[in-house]
Amino acid sequence: MSAEEGHTSLVEQIIEGPVTWGRKEQHSLTRRLKSKGSAVREHVDTRLTNLEQGIEDVQLAVGRLSDNFEELVQENAEITSVAKEMIENMGRTFQKELKELASTVTTLKAFVEGELHDLHTKSISLETRLDALCVECCSKHATSYAPSTSTHLTTSGTSNIKVPKPDVYNGVRNATVVDNFLFGLERYFVALGVHDDETRINHAPIFLRDAAQLWWRRKYADQGENALHSWEQFKTELRKRFVPHNAETESRCKLRRLRHR
């Protein structure tokens, strides 16, 4: 039986006491009721005390958790700040190194371009000097040959005839232009009385310019097994280099397309 049920039973006995009990029994019952009430109060007070103690413990635990949470928030803020500062420092360092690299690349590019320009200028200067030397050399050969030609014309009785020089050839890839140039050279040599192949080959480059002169410079530098020994070889090599391969076919096609009108 619980304390509450015992208390209820005592109350009922007190109510019914005047009917069935005597004074002694009623007095005993009152004492018992008081003792039971005291026990109940003590029990309630104990439970209240325990409850208050539990509430205090819970509040203390909540306070500790709150303090720990605040510490975590503060530590997180510090870590975030440090990480942000590190990232910013790395970004500034990277930008600085990138700018230095770009500056180095720009300087190196300017240096290379300057060197290439100097090399190009020197190459042009060397080509110009070489061209001048070739022209000077050919002119000396022509000068050394001129007296014998003049004598030949004098003995033949045609000293008053002036032989015009043929047109120069600059390397145009056209069959007609090449043939006209070679024909003019042959007529010029015939008029001067030059029939020796070696003399013709040595003097013909005087009338070459630009791409044709460059071709002869390379050809002249390769005077080994590929040396030219006859005037026909010179004409063949010149045609092979500057006459288009389909020139003969085109000429025949043009001839077929001719119509009398």
Please name the residue that has the structure tokens 């870590």: 79
Q: What average pLDDT does this structure show over 83-95?
A: 89
Taking 60 as the threshold, does the pLDDT of residue 251 lie above it? no
More confident residue, 225 or 51: 51
At 135-189, the pLDDT tens digits run 566 555 444 444 343 334 333 444 456 778 888 999 888 888 999 999 999 999 9
Calculate the average pLDDT of the chain.
Answer: 77
Is-above-0.75 flag for pTM? no
Q: What average pLDDT does this structure show over 186-203?
A: 90
Taking 70 as the threshold, does the pLDDT of residue 248 lie above it? no
Taking 70 as the threshold, does the pLDDT of residue 196 lie above it? yes
pLDDT for the residue numbered 146: 42
3-state secondary structure at position 169: strand
Q: What average pLDDT does this structure show over 78-104?
A: 89
Are the C-beta atoms of residues 152 and 199 closer than 8 Å to each other?
A: no
Rounded-to-integer distance, Cα 96 and Cα 86, Å: 15
CB atoms within 10 A of CB 203: 19
At residue 116 the predicted structure's pLDDT band, cuts being 50, 70 and 90, is: confident
At residue 123 the predicted structure's pLDDT band, cuts being 50, 70 and 90, is: confident
Estimate the crossing angle of helix 23-155 against helix 210-221, to 10 degrees.
80
